Structure 1
Amino acid sequence: MSIQNKPHMVEAVMFFSERGGICKEMLFPEFEALLDSVVNMPEFADEQVRMAYLLINPRLMIRSVVFFFLDFDEKGAADSGWNLPLRHLADNAGRGPDMGAGPIRLACRSQCPVSWHQMHLWDPSLAPGGNDLVLLRDTVKRNALGLIVEDESSAVMVPERLHVAAEDRWQAPDPALAQAEKAAAEKDREQRAKAAQMIKQQRLRISTLSQQYEEELARLKMASAEQLRSVQVEQQRLLQALRQQETLNARLKEQLGAQAAQFQSGREDMSRQRRVLEHNTRTEMDLLRSQFERESQAKVAAAVAESREQVAIRDVELAYRVEQQAHTQQELERVTAERDELARQGGERILERLAKLGVVFVVYHPGAGHLTVPLQDVARYQNNPLAYAASKCFVSEQQYRQWLEHYQNPVCEAQLPNGERCAMPIERIDSPSRFVSAESGCCTQHKALSRLRTVG
């Protein structure tokens, strides 16, 4: 009979629904088949689904959790370009809360062991009554996946773990004293574990709330910019309508001028005909004059009446156009005033409103941690965030930049004879104020050489 020293861990994947709760569970081999497009899931077509990768021990207790996203196309097939090292993230993640088997390893957006995978992770909710970690724990306990559970009472003692006490300690200890010491040690351990778990949960919740506030601020800025663009588009539309109205008024004036010229030309033609008739005989002239006068008067009366009617119509149309133009000008002035008011209320006014509503602007910088930026320091922070963080660490901007490069990639920066960097992994300096450029960024060998050069 063989004894298994290390219990076998089971890999599983849980699917979270948009309405809250877990909608689907599967073992990791099934998830790999989904990634290989062996099967599709039409219920998640054209969606980005929140998922959790779990390592579960034989007693149905969670040991590691990775919260990640997975995209599905319109047919329900998983994203072919998705390639997230879930097991690596689970094995190298930071400590999380105790879920029954000691502190778990937790990888999420605000606690990611590999920085370039942070954008593919999400933060769980730790709110009372909606705690995603508690939901995962209860789901695993239900054992819908049919995992084989190890009975704690059937655990076999490993021979290597058996130790024989020394002969001078074979006498029976005092049971009451041993029991009291054991109870005190157990109580102290429980208190420490509870305090560490509470601190970890509060830090994770603060990080999640900070990210939510940043996203809300970005959304408000985007909405303000979109409203300003819509006002500008409306202004352009009104200006174009005004130009069209002015063009129409000019065309109507040209038509009225042409009609007046045509009427004047008709009068001149009739005058010429009258002068020709005066050269005829007196009798014919009298007859023609009387006839001409009648016809002329009739034509003139008809032409004048028609012209007056046309002029009256044009006057009404012109008055309507002038009224429309005045209305358009008033609307343009109102929109311009609204645009100016929006422009005045932009930027700092929005920040002042948020500050009055109790919104706190929190940023995170390595070495300085989470910084609360007062409203009067927002402009200085926007101009140079690194200089602002360096001032909070009581170092210069140059020293902070050098430390930040060391913090993100703690390797030896000394230059080898061939021109390349040493790149030997070194101990990371967590505080910028303790970082010395020529010494803290070098390995032991190059640090010694640097000291020899300084002494020499």
Structure 2
Amino acid sequence: MSMQNKPQMVEAVMFFSERGGICKQMFFPEFEALLDGVVNMPEFADQQMRVAYVLINPRLLIKALVFFYLDFDEKGAPDSGWNIPLQALAERAGRGPDLGAGPIRLACRSQCPVSWHQMHLWDPSLTPGNNDLALLRDVAKRNSLGLLVEDENAQAVSLERLQMAAEDKWYAPDPGQDEAAKANEKLDQEQRAKAAQLIKQQRLRISSLTQQYEDELAKFKLASEQQGSSLQAQIHSLQQTLRQQEEHNAALKAQLAAQAANFQTSREKMTEQLRALERVGRSDSDSLRAQYEGEMQAKIVSAVAEYKEQIAIRDVELAYRGEQDTQALQEITRLKRAYADLASQGGEQILERLAKLGVVFVVYHPGAGHLTIALQDIAAYQDNPMAYAAGKCFVSEEQYRHWLAHYQQPSCEALLPSGERCAIPIDRVDSPSRFASGQSNCCTRHKASSRLRTVS
């Protein structure tokens, strides 16, 4: 085997599918080409992929692992702001389980040597039957990437290097307690190593489960707080409605009590009047009835006359207002005509004269550049310059206003949990037509979270 083909440590990157298997393998230089935009992965378009950086030795055994996330846009290009130092994390990572070549170096969400990269990492599953570490071990052993494998037979010592022992040392002493003690010590060391390795695996699994449970607890706590706030608002609204209903009931009770008292008083008066009528007799009753009918008729006539008078007054007021409206409309028409005459005799004639003299009306708007305004478009430009510029850029006025705010101050407009703006400087979009609100005016992190919310 030549020196160029000598087996050595290999860096690889493996992509996990949603079902849990490995759907893509590549060497680390290929992964760097992917990050540089040389190639895209259309099969991963608009997804957040779980990826593992794997360091494999010449015997196809794993020495280091880094589990991280990688976002792809709708064209299958990776996130341009991704900058996790995989090799540095692998070198500084803590010890993990033994996958055949001694304890590996493992960097994941619950065991991250650099705290600010923790949110971009994920914890592998260690449950029996769904162990991501065992899956990676088996995939590396199958050697789908075609790595150069170290020949185990080549490790044997050549005959020239063998030395003949002295004849008096050919025969070992009678095996006794010494060899038994050595065997027991070796067995004890193996058991201790296995126990220590098992403890490390369990600690890693406990740390992973603890992180998972803490995330779930935080989600449940947030949902509980939101539900509690909603219930508290409903209770407050119901209490307020109850108080209003109680006040309304109290007012109705008071009104009913007053009406009952009035009815009782009227009933007593009517009873007394009936008794008096019975005593006076039928003749007095007829006279009282006639008097009562006369009084009622007089009241009716008086009320009708009063209402007629009010109606006449209202008719006069309506006629006066109609006359005033007519005069106002005539005045408005006169003023419009006067304004049109003045405008036609003043500004338009001056503009026409300037245009005939070769004067060109030029304005500058960001995104549209220097615009030459035709004489017939002067009025439309004066009414709404922003809408005129937006039309020249082939976008809506609202989109042009959003782009202009971004163009004048290119910073992230997303809101932080505290309610303040993110305000991280971002790349300026020079063309209004390529500006997309919620994407072009957001930093990479808020743009990714927006895209995730859209996907979910």
The TM tier, using the shorter chain, reads 0.3 to 0.5
TM-score, normalized by length of structure 2? 0.47
Q: Computing the radius of gyration over CA atoms, which structure comes out larger, 1 or 2?
A: 2
TM-score where L is the length of structure 1: 0.47
